[in-house]
Amino acid sequence: MPDTITITDDRTGKTVTVPIEGGVFPAAAVRELDPSLFIYDPAYMQTASCKSAITYLDGEAGILRYRGYPIEQLAEHSSYLEVAYLLLNGELPTTAQMEQWRFDVTHHTFIHENMRKRFVDGFHYDAHPMGMFVSSVAALGTFYDGAKEIFDADSRQRQILRLIAKTPTLAAMAYRFSVGLPFNYPDNDLSYPANFLHMMWKIGEYEVDPALERAMDVLFILHADHEQNCGTTAMRVVGSSHADPYSSAAAAACALYGPLHGGANEAVVRMLADIGSIENVPAFIESVKVGDGRLMGFGHRVYKNYDPRATIIKKTAYDVFEVTGKNPLLDIALALEEVALNDAYFIDRKLYPNVDFYSGLIYQALGFPVDMFTVLFAIPRTAGWLAHWQELLADGDQRISRPRQWYDGVGAREFVPIESR
């Protein structure tokens, strides 16, 4: 069977034959047929917008790999910082590379005092931490001369380091501001996740529980990348205009903010709280089936099977609850999952729990308010965004993102003066 596709334009009888590689054929084939012919593909349902060697995802089989390594193995044996190195560099670090990377990230965690005193202090007292996060990521770029030197490899490396090192600091600062607590400076003696928990929670004496530190690290690993989702696509689209990485990452974080993307974990916890008790689960499922809202934390554009991250998160939830006590919403979540997985509506549409179904319960057990959930997603996803940004800049096939449209408005007409309308 030839690995080619032949397309015929029936209007002209013109035919082109192009290769299919890895299940993809170039849209240039359509251009060859007729440069004014376009493919209508809202939400990029059937469009590969780039080539990427970072994350492999098989939604039918429920497989997720970063640079070839299965997510299950990384979640069990690796750390977020090691995974960030892997995503950015393509290979796992040697001991010496890892030590240097850890040292570099640890020694870039502080932010300019003006960021806190002048910028963050200007927010309204009840500002949403995610709103504060996206704007402070963008603002951070204004502190570095080299931010715009995106074709200078050393400068790119410095900005990447800064973004990975400083996002937990910005996140903790947004939280502490939103609850009126003084800011905790980073502690360079702590690991990446422990330092974040320290900046979040320290009031007087505070020691990070190793089980919770590990859970935080696993959650960071699971959220580090997920190929061309809405946020990463925003990073690539903005990056394609050669904007600096802070502005591009802020755009990606804005995309993540929406309830259909990174905001879903927040929506799950609110939904579970609204359901209130196990007895209300069947009625809630029925209401979803008749189109009255969605079962948040279920369904995925790509996974048509159990999201492998959801399996790991469910296990991590139990590790956390050992320390914190069980989140009372867990029983409702388990009941919902059981009912949905056995219901024809969800089976027929291949709707399974996604990464957000259990993550919110862990975050809540760790003490995070729901407003912080998307911020917790954005911290580790920064590594993925930056890996895609680097890949984009090095990709000779890429140009500024500029899709075409299918105009279906009115045709040309004469302007009518206001008094005559």
Residues that bind ligand CMC (CB under 6 A): 226, 229, 260-262, 264, 288, 294-301, 349, 351, 354-356
Least separation in angstroms between residue 321's CB and ligand CMC is: 22
Known active-site residue 300: yes
- Burial class from Cβ neighbours inside 10 Å (0-12, 13-18, 19+) for residue 26 reads middle
Contact 178, 371 (CB under 8 A): yes
Residue placing its CB nearer to ligand CMC in the complex, 59 or 93: 59
Least separation in angstroms between residue 230's CB and ligand CMC is: 7
Tokens standing for 339? 């009912």
Please count the CA atoms within 13 angstroms of the CA of 33 that sit on its side-chain side: 21
> Which is the catalytic residue, given 108, 112, 128, 261?
261
Residue placing its CB nearer to ligand CMC in the complex, 373 or 389: 373
Least separation in angstroms between residue 121's CB and ligand CMC is: 32
Known active-site residue 242: no
Residue placing its CB nearer to ligand CMC in the complex, 147 or 379: 379
> Which is the catalytic residue, given 300, 307, 371, 388?
300
Residue placing its CB nearer to ligand CMC in the complex, 101 or 346: 346
β-strands 69-70, 14-19: how paired?
A: unpaired
Residues 6 or more apart from 390 whose CB is under 8 A from it?
A: 88, 156, 160
Contact 364, 327 (CB under 8 A): yes
DSSP-derived letter for residue 151 is T
Please give the C-alpha separations between residue 238 and each of 130, 255, 359, 392, 416, in angstroms, as whole numbers.
Answer: 19, 12, 29, 11, 38
Least separation in angstroms between residue 310's CB and ligand CMC is: 9
Least separation in angstroms between residue 263's CB and ligand CMC is: 8
Q: CA-based angle 233:257:317, to the nearest 5?
A: 105
Work out whether the CA dihedral 315, 320, 324, 328 comes out positive or negative: negative
Known active-site residue 261: yes
Please count the CA atoms within 13 angstroms of the CA of 252 that sit on its side-chain side: 35
DSSP-derived letter for residue 57 is E
> Which is the catalytic residue, given 225, 244, 356, 371?
356
Of 234, 260, 164, the closest CA to residue 388 belongs to 234
| Strands annotated E in 20-154 | 55-58, 63-66, 69-70
Q: Where are the alpha helices (DSSP H) in 107-209?
A: 113-114, 129-140, 153-178, 192-201
Residues 6 or more apart from 36 whose CB is under 8 A from it?
A: none
Least separation in angstroms between residue 349's CB and ligand CMC is: 4
Residue placing its CB nearer to ligand CMC in the complex, 139 or 234: 234
Radius of gyration of the chain (CA): 23
What CA–CA distance (Å, rounded) separates 233 from 243?
14
Q: Which residue minimizes CB distance to ligand CMC? A: 299
In residues, how long is the chain? 421
Tokens standing for 130? 């995610």
Least separation in angstroms between residue 134's CB and ligand CMC is: 16
Least separation in angstroms between residue 74's CB and ligand CMC is: 17
Residue placing its CB nearer to ligand CMC in the complex, 155 or 374: 374
What CA–CA distance (Å, rounded) separates 278 from 262?
26
Give the helix/strand (H/E) hosting 48: none
Residue placing its CB nearer to ligand CMC in the complex, 213 or 356: 356
Residue placing its CB nearer to ligand CMC in the complex, 238 or 355: 355
Q: Which of the residues are catalytic? A: 261, 300, 356
